[in-house]
Amino acid sequence: MVVLVYIIVFFMAMILSNIINRFFPRIPLPLIQLIFGLFLGYFDSKHVLRLNSEVFLAIVIAPLLFREGEESDIPSILKHWQTVLFLAFILVFITVFSVGYSIHQMIPSLSLAACFAIGAALGPTDIVTMTSLSKEFNFPKRVTSVLKGEGLINDASGIISFQFAITALTLGTFSLAKASASLLLAVFGGVLVGIVLGILNRRIIGILEELITVDVTGHLLMEVVLPFLSFFIAEKFHVSGIIASVVAGVLQASRFKKITLLDARVDAVTNTVWKVLTFAMNSIVFILFGIELEMVFFTYNAKNIIEGFYLIFIVLLATAVLFVTRFVALALYYRFVSWRRHKSYERYLHDALLLTFSGVKGTVSIATILLTPELVHKSVQSERSIMILLVAGVTFCAFITGLIVLPILGEQKEVLRDHYVEIDILEEVIAQLEEDAKKLRNRAALDVTIDNYRMRIQDLVIDSESNKLKKDLYKLRLKMLKMEMQGLKAAYQKKEISDFAYEYYFRYIKISEQRISHNFISPVSFLDVMLKRMIFNIKLRFKFIWSFIFHKHKRQKLTSDEKRMIRTMYAANTKTILAFLDKAKGKYNSKLIDYLKADRIREVEILRDRSFIERIIVKAKLNNVEEMMRGYYLERKIIFEYKEKGKLTGKKALELQKNVNVLESYSLKERDPNLSYSLFDFLRTC
């Protein structure tokens, strides 16, 4: 039972870390998870949440690298195969010896094998930092391709080097000749196992498809099981399970693409499942690392080997050695490339710098050092503790260095995006739908569809603006939301609006929250508004439940008086908001103010419409699937016409058509009603 409780707490820590990162995106997710791990370790979970080294390698590292192989762009990697192999193998081994030997010189009491194990753990790079920065900065495509190829292969070479170092550490002997032979056998054997299992998996799925005995679930399970199977079979033959998993992933991605309904469904589900699994496995690495760090800090006295300040100095020096080694190796490599190609060396120097500081450490380095066996011998236990501390420190310093230096080296992306053609397409769709609406008596469902297209246009208009304007927009929307809440709260306390009407208006506020991007406003300001809203709403929930159960409210629909209350409330809040926007004209961009005012006034103009509550307050669908399908048909038709007229490139037209497909699939999906509102509706009828 205790183990189950700890597992539940572990998964809650994963969920909370993601929520915190969403509210505070500038705080790296691994750092949040590391802190959670320290807390779990402090509460004595270290004796429960432990994984065997082999199991950890199989159920965490192998699937992660399998997915990397599956998502890899093989043609781009092959284009730069020489650079990739240099970084993935030669540079990893250089790093092992340079970092390992440097640490051994600074800490002579730490065995050379343990120091080489540290160097091996710090050999693999983590491109997560580069990927996250590439959203804001441009990196040359050749650099990105090289980094992805390096990250795909050097994880395996680093782990193999680490295993050799650990063998030397535990057995006390090491032979370079035997290690080299074992390395070649492990690599080629792993490649062979990965190829065989990848082809076998593809053949089995093909046979099952021919027999019509495979479905989405079965297809997905076979893919998820493949990395584990590859790892265990390869290890059984004493070759590299990691290499086998990577190769199996590459073969899985390179299968022939069949345009069938089954393959389309499998692809949609697979991406979602792997996204969740990848997040979970990365989280496991950093939370377990936090637990291990807590154990090291509180059960191991570092002064037995080295003073604390000297340890910090060693971490900083090892980080410097790591980057200097990488830069020197890359500089010499590109010097040779420039000489062989008879081109200027300066053109390669910037690439060398980018590749140097993009080679930061992360998940694999942390996961690798956790594979260190915990032996009974006291001296080896001490070595394990100092190894974990050094890898943790260097990983953190390298991560911070990359975050600081890469924005300086990278070219800042153009913030403005041109969505004018897309806006024109959506405007034409709205015009066509308006023509359709003129022929109908009951146009409520079509009006909701038109509102949906207007919302999409608003999002495109906002996305076309600069980050500064977006920041101002979301600041103003947050203030407007605060006014909306204050107006509703005041009206409710004065009994100017009923419980039922309050519930409907509260839905509008919750929908308005979703239009505020956390990335452009202060998380503290946003949390302040949300928490106040939540506290006030929780108090009212108890009152509502009590009223529904004991006072037997049986109404399911708003009365005409309650509809009037909502319209009056909306008009009063609009008056307050428009007055605020008029005063804000001097502080904010006048076009932004006019945009927000026009948007609010447009909604007020619908006040006299009988479907105002559904269109504006609830944003209901009103069973408008047919109308949405009509809109998507028109959208596809206009995209095709724009492409034929040369207003859209083929690539852009394809991208827009994919977006329409996603929206159409989502609109056709049957969804259950919201549980809380359904519960209240049920209680009203009891």
Residue 528: C-alpha distances to residues 255, 479, 487 (Å): 50, 12, 17
| Backbone dihedral angles phi then psi of residue 411, each to the nearest 5 degrees | -90, 130
Q: What pLDDT, on a 0 to 100 scale, did the predictor assign at position 683?
A: 47
Helix, strand and coil content of the chain, in percent to the nearest 5, comes to 80, 0, 20
Give, for 412, the enclosing helix (H) or strand (E): strand 411-412
Q: Which amino acid does the sequence have at 596?
A: L
Coil/strand/helix, residue 50: coil
Give the ranges where 521-585 is alpha helix by DSSP (H): 523-550, 560-583
Mean pLDDT by 10 residues, the chain (686 residues): 74 85 74 82 63 69 81 76 85 88 88 84 70 59 80 71 70 64 80 90 78 72 88 87 85 64 71 84 79 64 57 88 92 88 81 83 69 51 74 81 76 60 89 84 75 83 77 84 86 83 79 68 65 66 58 60 86 90 86 85 76 66 73 91 87 87 74 47 49
Structure tokens at 394: 């260097």
Structure tokens at 633: 């048909």
The CA distance from 289 to 295, in Å, is 10
pTM for the whole structure: 0.64
Residue 76, Cβ density class (10 Å: 0-12 exposed, 13-18 middle, ≥19 buried): middle
Q: Which fold has domain 50-406?
A: Na+/H+ antiporter like fold (1.20.1530)
Token match 């790093």: residue?
A: 95
The CA distance from 374 to 46, in Å, is 13
Q: What pLDDT, on a 0 to 100 scale, did the predictor assign at position 528?
A: 66
Q: CB-based contacts of 629: which residues, under 8 Å, 6+ apart?
A: 664, 667, 668
Would strands 137-138 and 411-412 be described as parallel, antiparallel, or unpaired? antiparallel
- So where are the chain's domains? 50-406, 420-685
Q: What pLDDT, on a 0 to 100 scale, did the predictor assign at position 410?
A: 67
Q: What pLDDT, on a 0 to 100 scale, did the predictor assign at position 51?
A: 58
Instruction: Taking each helix axis as running N to C, give the angle between helix 91-106 and helix 112-121, from 0 to 180 degrees, rounded to the nearest 10.
Output: 130
Q: How far from chain centre, in Å, is Cα 600?
A: 34
Q: What pLDDT, on a 0 to 100 scale, did the predictor assign at position 379?
A: 46
With beta carbons less than 8 A apart as the criterion, state whether 285 and 362 touch: no
Q: What pLDDT, on a 0 to 100 scale, did the predictor assign at position 638?
A: 92
With beta carbons less than 8 A apart as the criterion, state whether 295 and 46 touch: yes
With beta carbons less than 8 A apart as the criterion, state whether 464 and 416 touch: yes
Residue 32, Cβ density class (10 Å: 0-12 exposed, 13-18 middle, ≥19 buried): buried
Coil/strand/helix, residue 137: strand
Residue 92: C-alpha distances to residues 113, 114, 116, 125, 326 (Å): 16, 16, 11, 9, 9
The CA distance from 8 to 434, in Å, is 53
Instruction: Taking each helix axis as running N to C, give the angle between helix 378-409 and helix 141-171, from 0 to 180 degrees, rounded to the nearest 10.
Output: 170
The CA distance from 467 to 462, in Å, is 9
With beta carbons less than 8 A apart as the criterion, state whether 143 and 125 touch: no
User: Is the alpha carbon torsion for 564, 570, 573, 578 positive or negative?
Assistant: negative
With beta carbons less than 8 A apart as the criterion, state whether 565 and 497 touch: yes
β-bridge partners, 411: 138
The CA distance from 624 to 650, in Å, is 31
